[in-house]
Amino acid sequence: MLRHEMNFQDTIKIARIKAFPIRASGTYSPKMALGTMPTRPALLVKIEDSSGCYGWGEIWANFPPRANTHKANIIEDVIETHLRGISFSEPHEVQEVLRKTLSLYFLHIGQSQVFEHILAGIDTALWDIALRHEGVSFAQFMGLQSTKARSYASSINAEDLEQLIPFHTELGQTYFKLKIGFAEHGNAKIVENAAKLIPAGSRIMVDSNQTWTLEQAKVALRDIEAYEPYFAEEALRSDSPHSDWEELVASTDIPLAAGENIYGIEDFLALTRAGIKVLQPDVAKWGGVSGALDLAKNMPEDVLIWPHFMGTAVGQVAALSVSAAIGKSSYCEVDVNENLLRSELCGDVINIEDGRVELPSVPGLVHPPSLNRLTDFTDWM
């Protein structure tokens, strides 16, 4: 895993940051653990350096409905003055400076994790700017043998199995993640139905989004064990005591996964000691690209890193890039549900072929959004 030691040559001085709250509406509304998403809010940031070079990043903002404008205001009101003027060569240095300066502020206002989301998006933008500044793509910088990232089909709702599993099979997907835990679906039934639809040699995963108690999780996982899910995601709350995770691990043959609601490398490592076998950092929620790559360097050999992602094409490409850097053991989440912010904001860039997505070949990390589309999706809420 990750033999390449990252090393940027240039020193970059940050000149400005601008937040872009955006929203797509009028398309399919996926049902999520926190409710339906009648529209898709998102938040992008653009950072420019003193030479006019730029980078784009994404800050997680799926919930609540105006999370994007909330975090955009924080960037403008609090972050910008601290970020402007910082010089760096490795993107992770900037997170460290901002944490030193501002973590107490965010602790005080009860928004430490919101701060982490913002730092994550800033880190991704800094990777984009650093690569563009040096004139290399992420794949070139990391010395990747393949410019394609592996992906898996995610967030398949019970009522869409018959349509979406064959469709994504055609795209070469071999891993299919189902949303379970909603009472009306029946957990075992949805897995049974999906198992009949997936192609030979492929696997199902399940995601119950932290909704089960320990006892409920034990029963639910026992009921689906016969279908040999590749992993069960967030079978417990992310803040469950490690003894609960250990007890669940001991009670099931299904490998457990978590990470989209875990903050900090120590907490990820503690989960692996409790027996979690698949970690799912989200580049828009914690650590950005630097955090995910750092995590990959520190993982025990028998633990997989499958990046979590649910947002626009900007963060999606960053998450796919992390997967590609980790190598063939890593598959990146790609939502199966319609989302114009993934399919149109940056053009038609998330094309899945043979289960893989081609990373950008030009200097930078991500595909910049089309300025016309960015204007179309601007959030006026």
| Six token digits for residue 290 | 């630097």
Give the nearer residue to Mg ion in terms of CB position, either 233 or 379: 233
**Tell me, what amino acid is at 371?**
L
Site for Mg ion in 28-47 (CB under 5 A): none
Q: Are strands 356-358 and 148-156 parallel, antiparallel or unpaired?
A: antiparallel
CB-CB contact of 350 with 343 (8 Å): yes
Q: Least separation, in Å, of the C-beta of 59 and Mg ion?
A: 18
Q: Least separation, in Å, of the C-beta of 281 and Mg ion?
A: 12
Is 335 a residue that touches Mg ion (CB under 5 A)? no
Q: Least separation, in Å, of the C-beta of 306 and Mg ion?
A: 11
The residue assigned the tokens 């490795």 is 90
Nearest-CB residue for Mg ion? 207
Give the nearer residue to Mg ion in terms of CB position, either 116 or 207: 207
Size of the residue set binding Mg ion (CB under 5 A): 1
Residue 289: Cβ within 10 Å count = 29
- Could you tell me which of 374, 366, 379 has the C-alpha nearest to residue 57? 366
- DSSP label of 159: G
Give the nearer residue to Mg ion in terms of CB position, either 98 or 258: 258
Give the nearer residue to Mg ion in terms of CB position, either 58 or 207: 207
The rounded distance, in Å, linking the Cα atoms of 309 and 316 is: 6
Give the nearer residue to Mg ion in terms of CB position, either 207 or 294: 207
Q: Least separation, in Å, of the C-beta of 233 and Mg ion?
A: 5
Site for Mg ion in 182-211 (CB under 5 A): 207
The rounded distance, in Å, linking the Cα atoms of 203 and 226 is: 12
**Tell me, what amino acid is at 226?**
A
Give the nearer residue to Mg ion in terms of CB position, either 18 or 203: 203
Give the nearer residue to Mg ion in terms of CB position, either 131 or 295: 295
Q: Least separation, in Å, of the C-beta of 75 and Mg ion?
A: 26
Give kind and range of the element (H or E) at residue 43.
strand 39-49
Site for Mg ion in 207-266 (CB under 5 A): 207
The rounded distance, in Å, linking the Cα atoms of 186 and 189 is: 5
Please state whether the peptide bond connecting residue 229 to the residue before it is cis, i.e. omega within 30 degrees of 0.
Answer: no
| Six token digits for residue 35 | 């409710």
Q: Least separation, in Å, of the C-beta of 134 and Mg ion?
A: 34
Q: Are strands 175-179 and 35-36 parallel, antiparallel or unpaired?
A: unpaired
Q: Least separation, in Å, of the C-beta of 51 and Mg ion?
A: 39
Give the nearer residue to Mg ion in terms of CB position, either 42 or 83: 42
Residue 183: Cβ within 10 Å count = 7
How far is C-alpha 49 from the chain's CA centre?
26
Give kind and range of the element (H or E) at residue 341.
helix 340-343
The rounded distance, in Å, linking the Cα atoms of 12 and 76 is: 21
Give the nearer residue to Mg ion in terms of CB position, either 49 or 207: 207
- Strand partners for 232: 206, 256
Q: Least separation, in Å, of the C-beta of 344 and Mg ion?
A: 24
For helices 288-298 and 313-326, give the axis angle rounded to 10 degrees.
Answer: 20
Q: Least separation, in Å, of the C-beta of 258 and Mg ion?
A: 9
**Residue 175: partners with Cβ closer than 8 Å, 6 or more residues away:** 152, 153, 202, 203, 204, 205, 230, 331
Give the nearer residue to Mg ion in terms of CB position, either 128 or 207: 207
Q: Least separation, in Å, of the C-beta of 310 and Mg ion?
A: 8
Instruction: Write out the residues near Mg ion by the rule CB under 5 A.
Output: 207
